[in-house]
Amino acid sequence: MLNILGRATSTNVQKVLWFCDAQGIEYVHDNNIGGAFGRNDSPEYLAMNPNGRVPVVIDDGFAMWESCSIMRYLARKSKSDLYPLDFALCQVVERWMDWEISLLAPRHVPVFIGMVRTKPEDRNPEAITNGVGQWNAAMQVLENQLSENAYVAGKAFTLADIPIAPIAHRWFNLEIDRIDAPNIRRWYDSFADDAGFLKWVNIELS
């Protein structure tokens, strides 16, 4: 049985949980790790992930960290049709997964932390405003991609869509100035009836 360790309010945990549900992969989830729960700085946890971040996923004693890497491992092992065999298409999928973790996610952090996890009196309005601009610039790249493709990596829903959707959920649900993005909205709304998305991603921001 797969063990997933990490609070479900983390976008990096959400993407793994959603993927497992989408693929019918059985797992046990320990939600009480990270953030306000702590425990991710314990010697036991750091022995599994020296960075002290969530999630950690344990597969038959093999401990993994880095959420997109975990998703690729699970997709290969389960022979998921969300992870294409075609080399070129696979590269496109991985490119967008890497884009999310390296560019999109870091750009949204100052805004999300500043507006959701910081008391109003302690907020830095200038940092938040600058962050919104950087986040919108990244979302414009996504909007351009989705103007020519039904999904992030092309015609079909793939592993590339799952990591980006939780960031888009925050983007749509924070009170910020957003770029006009009808294609991101159309893509985001396509998940409206997805059980995994509804359970793990479409939740109150905290």
- 3 state DSSP class of 59: strand
pLDDT for position 36: 86
Question: Nearest CA to 164 among 182, 132, 191?
Answer: 191
Neighbours of 130 (CB within 10 A): 13
Domains 2-78 and 87-201 share a fold: no
Separation of alpha carbons 192 and 187, rounded Å: 10
What are 23-41's pLDDT values in tens digits? 999 999 999 999 889 999 9
Q: Please, are residues 97 and 68 in contact by the beta-carbon 8 Å criterion?
A: yes
pLDDT on residue 68? 97
Average pLDDT over residues 172-187: 98
Instruction: Write the pLDDT tens digit of every residue in 61-120.
Output: 999 999 999 999 999 999 999 999 999 999 999 999 999 999 999 999 999 999 999 999
Stretch 49-72: mean pLDDT: 97
CA torsion 108-72-96-47 (nearest 10°) is 30
76 phi/psi in degrees, rounded to 5: -65, -45
Instruction: Look up the CATH superfamily of 2-78.
Output: Glutaredoxin (3.40.30.10)
Sequence-distant (6+) residues with CB within 8 A of 73 are: 59, 64
d(CA 55, CA 15): 10
CATH label, 87-201, candidates 1.20.1050.10, 1.10.10.10, 3.40.980.10, 3.20.20.60: 1.20.1050.10
DSSP assignment, residue 64?
A: E
Hey, where are the domains in the chain? Answer: 2-78, 87-201
